[in-house]
Amino acid sequence: MAQPPNVPQAQLKDQVPRDSRVMQLILQAAGVEDYEPKVAQQLLEFAHRYTVDVIQDASAYAEHAGKNDIDIEDVKLAIQGRITHSFTAPPRQEFLAQLAKERNKEPLPPVPEKYGLRLPPDRHCLTAVNFQLIPEPPPGQLDSSLSMDISQDNNDDEPFTMTTSVKHEDSSAIGGVDSDYDMQDVDSPEQIATTFKGHI
């Protein structure tokens, strides 16, 4: 903040609050000479908050002891409680070295051969195949199996005839009409095999 040129330096010092001057003297006593003006304000806020917390804790201790006024013992107990919970000092270097030495005595766990998550067997995983494929036989194999079933089922030497209907595309030869032979209409070879099995 810029200082007005017509205001004397002594008058500006008188306008500074007493607590701020005390905090500046504390900083000078600690050897801190160069700092921003907001540093003193932050330290004042911290001191005010800490003092209020200590007084509240001391009041609670005095009330718990059945006393009407706060004495020095209540304040000391409140400060000790704040130091224990709010201002925890780091452990000593010797203690940390001893703790690290005892910890390093334990061997490290072996490195597993397989990395990542261990999955259950394939049959228990959702990625397993949950269906079966039944492949269809080739056309040649289907015809041979059908002829074998017909020869095995027709053992009674019963004559049978098969008729089918054939339509000629050449209309000049037969007149473009269906020519019926002495064969019964059969839809598919599978029905033929089923029909002959019924004669047994």
Q: What is the pLDDT of residues 20-70, one digit of tens each?
A: 889 889 999 999 888 888 898 999 999 999 999 999 999 999 999 888 889
Q: Does residue 79 contact residue 54 with C-beta atoms inside 8 Å?
A: yes
How far lies 146's CA from each of 136, 154, 194, in Å?
A: 14, 12, 10
Closest by CA position to 62, among listed 83, 80, 77: 77
97: enclosing H helix or E strand: helix 93-104
Model pLDDT, residue 171: 43
Architecture field, domain 15-90:
Orthogonal Bundle (1.10)
Model pLDDT, residue 20: 87
pTM exceeding 0.85: no
Q: Does residue 133 contact residue 144 with C-beta atoms inside 8 Å?
A: no
pLDDT in tens, 72-108: 999 999 998 888 777 777 889 999 999 999 999 999 8
Model pLDDT, residue 51: 92
Model pLDDT, residue 158: 52
Triad 141, 142, 144: Cα angle to 5°: 65
Between the CA atoms of 137, 138, 140 and 145, what dihedral angle is there, to the nearest 10 degrees? 0
125 has a pLDDT exceeding 60: yes
Model pLDDT, residue 181: 44
Write out 51-62 in H/E/C secondary structure: HHHHHHHHHHHH
Q: Does residue 163 contact residue 184 with C-beta atoms inside 8 Å?
A: yes
Model pLDDT, residue 178: 46
